[in-house]
Structure 1
Amino acid sequence: MTAFSLDPAQTAWCAELRALAEERLRPLAEKGEPGHVNRALVAELGRLGLLARLFTSGALDLCLMRESLAQGCTEAETALALQGLGAHPVHAYGTRAQRERWLPRVADGSAVAAFALSEPGAGSDAAALALRADRDAARAPTSAPAPGAVPADPVPSVVEAQGPPVAERDGWGRWRLNGEKCWISNAPEADFYTVFARTTPGAGARGVTAFLVPADRPGLTGTPLDMLSPHPIGALAFDAVPVTADDVLGEPDRGFRVAMHTLNLFRPSVGAFAVGMAEAALAATLTHTAGREAFGGRLKDLQTVAHQVAEMALRTEAARLMVYAAAAAYDEGAPDVPRRAAMAKLLATETAQYVVDAAVQLHGARALRRGHLLEHLYREVRAPRIYEGASEVQRAVIAKELYASVEAP
């Protein structure tokens, strides 16, 4: 199998996913309340076995799931993706206890996960995080190591992980989280959060630690935000929220790589989500322009319309192939994954915006009516160009990776 084609089994699986999205998931999505977690939809994703596949599939399979679901039900796609984004750090970096407590519940849809990275003053610049993890001096061990140091004789975990080995860190003591997170999908209704906080002031990306924080921790509160996108997004406030070494994901002061490892996996699949929306918009446009009578004939017979549709198809196919190539590179462990992931997300999300906008234009006013497929896609398609790294950030990543291979004169 190459990055540019799918085998018959993959093609059949994608068709099955599209059918499930339309027949079983969309009715549940339509019963949900915009801006709130649709737990019935999440539970159905669990019953269908799709959430469990988040922890057994590679990047390409993740892309195929997101693309196929997006064509039939964007709400189901987003619910699946948010479970994966919030829980992947636990799967890849968590201790045995963390994994055993949370991953089965994520897989069966009974627990909702969230990825809490962005802050009011640190969105695209993730290294500028201000949420503090202050030492709990009254409860810290008397011989706690300095921030950033590795405890002596760590006990290796026997849990297999996709990321670097995980170690128990009994000597690291305790912290109190103080600060805010903002623009967090599934907040404030998630059952647990992967939270990134600053453990070493002034250290930039090197002083961030990832914590698994259950939603019922004292001092943790949340507020929903009324956003254009229909899925739940909120803000979180941390008022001396207690966390310990048992809550750390990965190693203290090395949480930034937990975030980047997760984003490198999910960025191509954000592109797949965008491609799925573009494909849905293109299919609707083909049907509409083939049947719509205007100016004495069918819209498809107007050269300007036909050329517009051809351009939509061309860009969608190019984006799809780049997404598959980036996912295949991730699965193969290629060294240029950050560049490929950034390129895939950038091209696919910008393409989807163009395709959906062109589809609305060709449909006319009917596409703007509340409840129309394109009205829905028009609201959905805008956010992916911002979250998990805005388009401008992706360009910066691409340029940085390109220049890294060029020796300075």
Structure 2
Amino acid sequence: MSLDVAAIREQFPILKREIDGNPLIYLDNAATTQKPQCVIDALVEYYSHYNSNVHRGAHRLADEATRKFENARDIIKDFINAPKREEVIWTSGTTEGINMIANGLSKLLTSSDEVIVTGMEHHANIVTWQQACKAAGATLRTVPVTDKGELDLDAYVSLLNENTKLVAFPHVSNSLGTVNPVKWLTEQAKQFDAWVFIDGAQGIAHGNVDVQDIGCDFYAFSGHKIYGPMGIGALWGKEELLAEWPVWQTGGEMISVVTLQDATWNVLPYRLEAGTPNVGDAIAMGEAIRWFSSFDYAEVAAHEKALMARATELAKEFDGLRMIGEAEDKVGAFSFVLDQGHPADIGFLLDRQGIAIRTGDHCAQPLMARFGVPGTARMSFSIYTTIEEVEQFFKALKKVYMMLA
């Protein structure tokens, strides 16, 4: 069997839009995915029927909001196969999850400790650890990227040592689409008892994320990358670590006892969730994951593989196009440059034909420098992308190429 992409597309109102008289071809899914009607409805229902703060109210609306808010936490727990629901922490997105752990790490590092990141990181998974290391006087080390856009695994192993405190890497590169061998990377780090943090922003929407099987300590992702709202995300971490991790923010909800002289912290997950949470978006994020979980992940993977294969085939036939990143295992994102024309110009001219892509450095400036380009044009796929859209993209790109000649 294969995905009924036409039926899936019917669930996304925005895909019916036209741009300058052209049907919208949305190929910017690595930046954010579109939302099915059920997710939009879940958000509207919350604000229309049971808008209330959670945990604190002694009335029906608060009870309904609390039950659905906490049910969304259960949905996420099951989706990533977390051992306990208390290990799922609500955040505003992947970036806050990374900052939460990096902020605590800065208090735990010593000057002899080392942190390892990779050369393909989003800035959120570089700058945070840079600052943590600077605060503690620790050392930040980087795994290089090969010409194909894969991690240099031999170099990674050589960097690991008894001083390695934490290793951070992306599940999937946001700019190249490279799928990293996260389980193997984790196993190598664990030989030195290092903590492992995975940036799952791009990996989460492709299914089969199993944190227990991977063996990592932390996994963070954003709702809007998996058909949910912006401004909401989740951090998963092992209970024994999160229960003792330095608190990220203080205020309401995360406290147990407060006097004018001191305070003690609440239990998980609330000790790391200060203040009024983003209730409506959390509920809608749960609905997005429930929706996505209804699909056969093998069929999703086969569809994505077919999209990437067709894009690669057409790119190799396109004179003047250079692919950036040709990893053996690649999903979602396809980056390239043309031998004439700036990526920004490419994006502008494609937009006039109704095609939405991303251009620029993709918040990965060190990776762009590695490939000797200021930025790339990037198309990125999703469950509702069709082969016909990929083919239409390359027809439109040929028009762009002629205009820029």
Q: Same fold (TM over 0.5)?
A: no
- TM-score for the superposition, normalised by structure 2: 0.26
Give the structure with the higher percent helix: 1
